[in-house]
């Protein structure tokens, strides 16, 4: 990687400088997906494999201003067949990144999580949100995890979530990301499990059980991202006020937090699933226009990063 | 109330039109608190009872541009004495609103929650965040609950949290607020408790067990506040896209969500504790400058609203 990626502009530049990546799309069939593919054809070194109805794909991509001749179409008659063929192609290592088109996210992830998919690695799969916070000086990219893969978060899962997010941070050239374990307070409260988990995760990091990052928590969101709020509270920490990765206390909290940055703050958001053999993108139709392109760029960068258990 | 309060400007106008309210402050001792008192002396019909060190109070309030002669000072030698005297005055109905100065929030709330405080009503105490979302057309004020009073949220508590938030909405002139019960998804998932709670709360509302509002959930944040996101998902609901009250799934989620609106989105936030005999304000030192004034205005409006069990 070399230099650290600290903004979405950097991210797009980084992806643009890569060797061409093969992006496999399961059932592209709506205008938003075709627009993302058309954009990526122009702006990023990509080769698309599009699995679905040939006429829909060729017409849709042309309508979006893309070039069907530069994409490889694999015909499939139904959504289910498109999904199965896409996963088969991924299993045969025909792709660097897998992206969903018009497929229900839960259907897609159930298929990925089957043993027969060949896409599992034994690691936990998790979804990493990456948002750009323009007000921040040094590293504008803040990650939030988990994006929605893990319904219930036990301590063991949180360890894996941190490792996956750190894996993404390393791929973005950040060798030692600061991980804030979020709760509602910076104090350890015996009857609030997320604060106990946070203390345990911090200590595991100190003892070398979680490597390649600095972990601190519990922290409330303001203590994690605002140096002023952290100072006001007198929190002494390498992470407080400067977190690169926010580990949410639970799935509801991660979801609300990520959506709040989009809907209340109007920030841009990319997201990528890691832990599978290749990065998986599950863009939402409601994503802002450039979110899909940013997610594709993130997936491309991730596809270059070898996983190593630290 | 008459007209509905749909913005913070409305809120300040509404509070400004009230008969004078007695605001009791436990141990005012920092510049931010004195500034809030000084602002309120000018902008709102208030009479302040300030309990603490007389010299500190008179000097601090004058420094902030306030008028110590218009405030009533009750001398107390220590923080603990100030807190006890303040609660005693509240018990004797000498105040319409109780606000914390330089007192640790948990110390203050422990004192309030003692049976001897005389401030309990048998109802659950909860903290309601009110944020102003300028992009919204009709009602710009969105409430988030719980702000941090309840560490663990069982279904029974969530019923009370809704009732308390609805009580605030009614005080702001909204006769039939739309309550979104948040989770990470709009689907009911048997292994995600917050979605089951949401379904139960919706049905309780349908059956008349929760009155004076329309409750719907589970909803993810985007479905709750964005009409476009709700429509994109095809959710048919009176609440989706137009929620006035957001019931967070848990304390961590409420905290992250409220702080995200402040720190990522830069929105203004007031908050007030209800369920006690008089409204209680626990402003944070890190609050933005006008948050305390908005909270005082909210407390004043709440003090006019009689609680009725519906």
φ and ψ at B155, to 5 degrees?
-55, -45
User: Does B16 lie at the interface with A, CB-CB under 8 angstroms?
Assistant: no
Q: Is there a contact between B151 and A192 if contact means CB atoms under 8 Å apart?
A: yes
Contact across the interface for B252 and A256, Cβ inside 8 Å? no
A31 touches chain B (CB under 8 A): no
B256 touches chain A (CB under 8 A): yes
Q: How many residues does chain B have?
A: 310
User: What is residue B19's DSSP assignment?
Assistant: P
Q: Which residues of A touch B144 (CB under 8 A)?
A: none
Burial class (CB in 10 A: 0-12, 13-18, 19+), B15: buried
d(C-alpha A44, C-alpha B115), whole Å:
66
On whether any CB of chain B is under 8 Å from the CB of A257, the answer is yes
| Segment A135-170, tens digit of pLDDT | 998 899 999 998 778 888 889 999 999 999 999 999
* Tens of pLDDT, residues B227-245: 999 998 899 999 999 999 9
A126 touches chain B (CB under 8 A): no
Closest CB to A151 among B189, B225, B251:
B189
Whether A220 sits inside 8 A of B182 (CB atoms) is no
Give residue A290's pLDDT. 85
Q: Which residues of B touch A256 (CB under 8 A)?
A: 182, 184, 220-221, 248-249, 253, 256-257, 260
Show residues of chain A in contact with B250, CB under 8 Å. 249-250, 252-253
Reported confidence tier of residue A310, pLDDT bands at 50, 70, 90:
low
Shortest CB distance from A261 goes to which of B182, B253, B260? B260
Distance CA A138, CA A173 (A): 13
Nearest-neighbour CA in chain B from A260: distance (Å)? 7
- Closest-CA distance of chain B to residue A255, Å: 5
CA distances from B227 to A68, B142, B239 (A): 34, 14, 10
Q: Tell me the C-alpha distance between B248 and B242, whole Å.
A: 16
Instruction: Look at B222 and A263 and tell me if their CB atoms are within 8 Å.
Output: yes
As a dihedral over the C-alpha atoms of residue A226, residue A232, residue A236, residue A239, rounded to 10 degrees, the angle is -10
Closest Cβ–Cβ partner in B220, B225, B267 for A255: B220
**Ranges in chain B, pLDDT < 50:** 1
**With an 8 Å Cβ cutoff, is A189 touching chain B?**
yes
Q: Look-up: residue for tokens 């679905």?
A: A52
Q: What is the pLDDT of residue A264?
A: 93
| Contact A264/B at CB under 8 A | yes
Task: For residue A249, give the DSSP letter.
Answer: S
Of A151, A189, A259, the CB nearest to B192: A151
Residue A102 near chain B (CB below 8 Å): no
B220 touches chain A (CB under 8 A): yes
Q: What is the pLDDT of residue A289?
A: 64
Phi/psi at B258 (5° precision):
-65, -45
Percent share of chain A, pLDDT over 70: 98
Question: What is the CA A281 to chain-centroid distance, rounded?
Answer: 8
Cross-chain CB nearest to A252 (options B184, B225, B285): B184
Model pLDDT for residues A74-101, shown as the tens digit of each residue: 999 999 999 999 999 999 999 999 999 9
CB nearest A220 (choices: B225, B259, B267): B259
Q: Cβ of A107 under 8 Å from any chain B Cβ? A: no
Closest chain A residue to B262, measured at CA: A222
Predicted complex ipTM: 0.86
Residue A273, pLDDT > 70, answer yes
Chain A closest-CA separation from residue B2 CA (Å):
29
Say whether residue A134 is in contact with chain B using an 8 A CB cutoff. Answer: no
pLDDT for B11 equals: 97
Minimum-distance CB partner of B260 among A152, A184, A260:
A260
Q: How far apart are CA B9 and CA B253, in angstroms?
A: 28
Place of tokens 């832990």: A275
* Distance (Å) from the alpha carbon of A229 to chain B's nearest alpha carbon: 6
- pLDDT for the residue numbered A309: 66
Tokens of A45: 């070194």
| pLDDT the model gives residue B310 | 59
| The two structure tokens encoding residue A208 | 């070398």
Q: Do B248 and A251 touch (CB under 8 A)?
A: no
- Looking at beta carbons, which residues of chain B come within 8 Å of A151? 189, 191-192
> What is the tens place of the pLDDT at every residue in B9-51?
999 999 999 999 999 999 999 998 999 999 999 999 999 999 9
């Amino acid at each position: 990687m070399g230099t650290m990626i600290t903004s979405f502009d950097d991210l797009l530049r980084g992806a643009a400088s890569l060797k061409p990546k093969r992006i496999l799309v399961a059932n592209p069939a709506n205008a938003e997906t075709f627009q993302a593919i058309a954009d990526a054809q122009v702006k990023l070194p990509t080769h698309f494999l599009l699995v679905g109805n040939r006429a829909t794909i060729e017409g849709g991509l042309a309508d979006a201003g893309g070039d069907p001749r530069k994409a490889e179409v694999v015909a499939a008659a139904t959504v289910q067949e498109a999904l199965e063929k896409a996963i088969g192609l991924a299993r045969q290592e025909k792709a660097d990144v897998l992206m969903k088109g018009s497929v229900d996210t839960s259907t897609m992830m159930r298929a990925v999580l089957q043993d027969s998919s060949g896409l599992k690695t034994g690691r936990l799969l998790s979804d990493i949100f990456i948002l750009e916070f323009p007000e921040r000086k040094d590293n504008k990219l803040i990650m939030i995890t988990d994006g929605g893969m893990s319904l219930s978060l036990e301590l063991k899962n949180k360890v894996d979530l941190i490792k996956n997010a750190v894996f993404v941070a390393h791929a973005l050239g950040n060798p030692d990301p600061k991980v804030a374990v979020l709760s509602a307070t910076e104090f350890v409260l015996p009857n609030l499990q997320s604060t106990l988990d946070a203390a345990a995760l911090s200590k595991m990091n100190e003892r070398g059980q979680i490597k390649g990052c600095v972990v601190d928590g519990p922290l409330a969101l303001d203590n994690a991202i605002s140096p002023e709020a952290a100072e006001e509270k007198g929190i002494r920490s390498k992470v407080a006020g400067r977190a690169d990765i926010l580990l949410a206390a639970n799935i509801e909290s991660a979801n609300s937090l990520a959506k709040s940055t989009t809907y209340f703050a109007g920030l841009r958001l990319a997201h990528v699933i890691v832990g599978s053999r290749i990065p998986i993108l599950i863009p939402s139709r409601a994503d802002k226009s450039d979110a899909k392109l940013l997610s594709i760029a993130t997936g491309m960068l991730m596809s270059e990063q070898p996983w190593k258990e630290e």
